[in-house]
Amino acid sequence: MQEDVPYVPFASRRAAVDAEYPRRQSPTARNSQAFVGRGLSLLAVIVSIVTVIMLDVATHIPGQDWSAYVSLAGVVIAPGLAIAGIVFSAIGLARYRTRGNGGVAAAGLTLGILFVFAPFWIGLVLGIIAGLTGRIAS
């Protein structure tokens, strides 16, 4: 008696493509560089946002010197984290074909590129805040 084998469209083509371009090396293989890159880029975004909030708070409290340290954190640390995010995301994007998670790497790369210019974004937001409130930080 003959068994009924379910019909799978393009089964032979799918097997040939999988043999030519394997998507994953093993079931446990993970594109950790993509996730690290995205995490570093998100950390750069968080540092930039916290810097803006802390500098806005510092402008409303007279006689505080800690605003200089906060601005240093935003101007130095955020772009550094963004550059590290770009490097790891680029490595993760290069490993996309064998390990997957290309979207995660692309998101990290995009955020990293945007927040390399964190001092610009921080200055822009603080300028808008100063313009809306009529106060200039001294």
What pLDDT, in 10s, does the model give residues 23-75?
555 555 678 888 999 999 999 999 888 888 887 777 777 776 777 777 777 78
User: Residue 79 in contact with residue 6, Cβ under 8 Å?
Assistant: no
> Per the domain annotation, does 93 fall within a domain?
yes
> Per the domain annotation, does 121 fall within a domain?
yes
> Per the domain annotation, does 11 fall within a domain?
no
pLDDT of residue 132 exceeding 60, the answer is: yes
Rounded to whole angstroms, the Cα distance separating 54 from 131 reads: 17
Residue 65 identity (one-letter amino acid): D
> Per the domain annotation, does 117 fall within a domain?
yes
Rounded to whole angstroms, the Cα distance separating 44 from 50 reads: 10
SS3 94: helix
> Per the domain annotation, does 79 fall within a domain?
yes
| CA dihedral (54, 59, 61, 63) positive or negative | positive
Domain range for residue 81? Answer: 32-133
Our count of domains for the chain comes to 1
Report residue 37 CA to chain centroid gap. 6
Percent of the chain with pLDDT over 70: 73
> Per the domain annotation, does 2 fall within a domain?
no
* Mean pLDDT across the chain: 78
